[in-house]
Structure 1
Amino acid sequence: MYTVLHAVVPPLAKVVWRPTVTGLENVPRTGAVILASNHLSFADSLVIPIVAPRKVHFLAKSDYFRGGGVKGTLQKAWFEGMGMLPVDRDDPKAALGSLDTALEVLGRGEAFGLYPEGTRSRDGRLYRGRTGVAHLALTAGVPVVPVGITGTERLQPVGARLPRIVPITVRFGAPIEVAGRYDGVPPGKARRLVTDEIMTAIQALSGQEEAGVYNDRAPDA
């Protein structure tokens, strides 16, 4: 399904939205890698796989994979075909399960995408990164490619029934290597240092104002 969808969806989306994409050369074509992006819209998890030069797995609400009937079947096929992996957000252990899922993807030598802010920004600012991204990078010993997206918050605002034609820009930054750099550093400190380095790179790519605090608003997309 992935092969079929990616033969149709990316070319069509690029013709319609004409996204500006830079830094594709920074995304390794093979091997495990994390793509860490800012988060402005539910559409980010579709935009990145559409423009990336390789398959990227993101997590998506398990509800999207459970629908019945023709609509449910098509919806499940769409999300699976776009490389999405289900996560049950109502499960108290979902956070740990998400990390395990990510490590499985990375263990297979694939690309995993995530948002260090934890949930999308409602005011356009860049919020402080949570250290899960650093935990994954340090545990798996894989590079992190920072990603800066602009414009997706206007693609389909809350309440809009159809997506709009708006300028979208996706910038892929230089990979941040972590393997071997933090040997002997206390784990908690290493995770914070790596996360802050990643967020600094994302801010440079996105140009967002830094909020300086965590985004604690409950995600709905």
Structure 2
Amino acid sequence: MAPTSASEDSLPVLKILLIGPSGAGKSALLLRYCEDQFDPESTTATIGIDFKMKKLAVRGKGYRLNIFDTAGQERFRTLSTSYYRGAHGVILVYDISNKKSFASMEKWVDEARLNANPEAVLYFVGTKLDKVAAGGRAVSFEEGKAFAEAQGAAGFCEVSSKTRENVKRPFVEVVDQIVQKPQLIAGAAPSAKAVNFDMGSLPSNPCSC
């Protein structure tokens, strides 16, 4: 049975950020997760901030995710940092077929720790797993996992937005870690309408499970 609008409005809201270098595949991951779409021709970089909503149930309880896809270009870094405020989880994304993309992760970790709540859950994702079959891997699974563990991240996985492989996993595991931190979700808004940002100024594309 589909939930009523009243029950949907009462769902706790969790703010999740996707961060990482330009070209890492953040937008493709978000689009595949929220709308189950993949555009193989898309090479357009996110301008500023993109935003989508997604409903997710973890441990038998429903949540509404506000997911922010932040631009990876240097000129948008100042804009992006203001969106760390109130974030419950930060997913750091790199391209496993690009060594430079992975090498930039330390910088992104530093930015997250500087701007996000110290309690916010950090999770690492390596994208473009589909390129492995064609010999396109530049960063091993072991390298990615070891780096995530060294940074004290809540988890790590590799995904393919093209094939859907593991696409849901980082979001489910991030929320699972968030909800185990009562002090972190204590202030979660009971409705998407109560979240403190101007939805009219963002390219909003609501979606649900």
Give the TM-score taking structure 2 as reference length: 0.31
Greater per-residue strand proportion:
2
TM-score (norm 1): 0.30
